[in-house]
Amino acid sequence: MIALTAAALLTPLERIERPLVLVEDGIITRLGSQASLASPNCRLINYGEAILAPGLVDIHIHGGAGHDVMEGDPEVLPVIESFLAKHGVTSYLPTTVTAPLDLTLATLERLADAVESSSEQGRKEMRARPRGIHIEGPFLSHARRGVHPPENLIAPSVDVFERLWQASRGHIKLMTIAPELECALEVIAEAVKRGVAVSLGHSDAQIDAARAGLAAGARHATHTFNAMRPLTHRDPGLLGLVLTDPRISADIIADGVHVDPVVVELFLRMKGPEKAVLITDATAATGMPEGYYRMGGFEFEVRDGKCLANGTLAGSLLTLDAAVQNVMKFAQLDLQAALRTATLNPAKAAGLPENAGVLAEGAAADIVVMNSEQKVIKTIVRGAGV
């Protein structure tokens, strides 16, 4: 057993001064203030004036450190996962991009292998864990496809969803879909029945179609404002529903490139502390120099701090720890509120287990140690790293 302490701990719902966290076999067995817990007879690690917080959870990420999650090489994911851990991420959903169906199916099989491997009791490595899969496409709007190749978009059908589901061996946790497409509502209902969190996005939906998607079971929205029908005063569209309906959680890319900081602040005010989610939409280029990289089956260029394919934004260079710092600046959030949008909220939105994204007794010891400047100085994944 190991005991951890620091200046403070954010669960993130509660702040505990001078905490004590007891960890055994990668699980938090006791948690509280030093004053409330008896001194344990075990090794004590003191992080001084640092803050302990839940490991970050990224539910929309395509790659990093020069690699894409859809590459065929099985050695790719460990590289990405080590990079994520350096930025405080302990759990993530590898995210596919629209590609030829055979490539997508093969990718889902490989990602399912990774999810199952990561859940094995014996694995204790300082790498982020894939907790499921996010499929972004192929059921997207041609009008709002962004960089998703139009030739690979597929009309929604339960039969195609079934092929995706079988290839993933039931590990699809999140699915982005445009609700206005023909047969989309049937696919949404089927996915929800199987425990998939359905997210509305890459959509040109007017508000009635968006409401129908919600009625069919969708409960989340993908990279709000981007690849969505713009909001106007006579045509609120999907975006109007996302911003005003408290039943919908929604994510945003808070890099200052995809969405202006003023609009990020507006989003956080509208969605509130329980429904706002930070994502990165990171690519193979994240953490790398300018140049050319791949996402799925196409190439994009990084220049001037942007990922571009034919002049269109193609994912981001953002890391989730930087996103937390950004929303503190953009919207004057305190660290506790900012952390919630990158820990508990994404875990809930993606339907991860109840104790994911929090520090609590019985939860995995997925912990990030941050200094007074909110920079990650240590990441602990299921107890590994102490």
Per domain, the residue ranges of the chain are: 1-54+357-386, 56-354
Q: What single string gives the DSSP state of each residue in 148-182?
A: S-GGG-----HHHHHHHHHHHTT-EEEEEE-TTST
* 281 has catalytic annotation: yes
Gap between the Cα atoms of 71 and 103, Å rounded: 10
CB neighbours (10 Å) of residue 149?
17
d(CA 235, CA 221): 18
Q: pLDDT tier at 37 (50, 70, 90 boundaries)?
A: confident
Distance CA 131, CA 370 (A): 23
**May I ask the CATH class of domain 56-354?**
alpha beta
Residue 122 has what pLDDT?
A: 47
Enter the DSSP assignment of 316.
B
Q: Please, where are the H alpha helices in 276-368?
A: 320-331, 335-340, 344-349
Class of domain 1-54+357-386: mainly beta
| Residues 227-244: tens digit of each pLDDT | 999 999 999 999 999 999
Does an H or E element contain 210, and which?
helix 207-216
Name the 3-class secondary structure at 147: coil
What does pLDDT average to over the chain?
Answer: 96
What is the rounded CA–CA span in Å between residue 85 and residue 382?
12
Name the strand (E) or helix (H) holding 38.
Answer: none
| Spatial CA neighbour of 219 closest among 300, 275, 168, 163 | 275
C-alpha distance across the termini of the chain, in Å:
11
Q: What's residue 145's pLDDT?
A: 98
| Mean pLDDT of all residues in 252-259 | 98
Look at 78-92, 118-132, 158-172, 282-296 and tell me which has the smallest mean pLDDT. 118-132
- Average pLDDT (56-83) is 96
Answer yes or no: is pLDDT of 295 > 90.
yes
Task: Please report the pLDDT score of residue 274 as a whole number.
Answer: 96
Length of the chain: 386
Q: What pLDDT, in 10s, does the model give residues 337-375?
A: 999 999 999 999 999 998 999 999 999 999 999 999 999
Give the pLDDT band (50/70/90) at residue 98. very high
The pTM is what?
Answer: 0.97
Which residues, 6 or more positions from 374, have their beta carbon under 8 angstroms from its beta carbon? 321, 324, 325, 328, 335
Catalytic residue among 204, 255, 281, 321: 281
Strand, coil or helix: 191: helix
Asked if domains 1-54+357-386 and 56-354 share a fold, the reply is: no
In whole angstroms, give the CA distance from residue 185 to residue 177: 10
Backbone angles phi, psi at 113, to 5 degrees: -60, -45
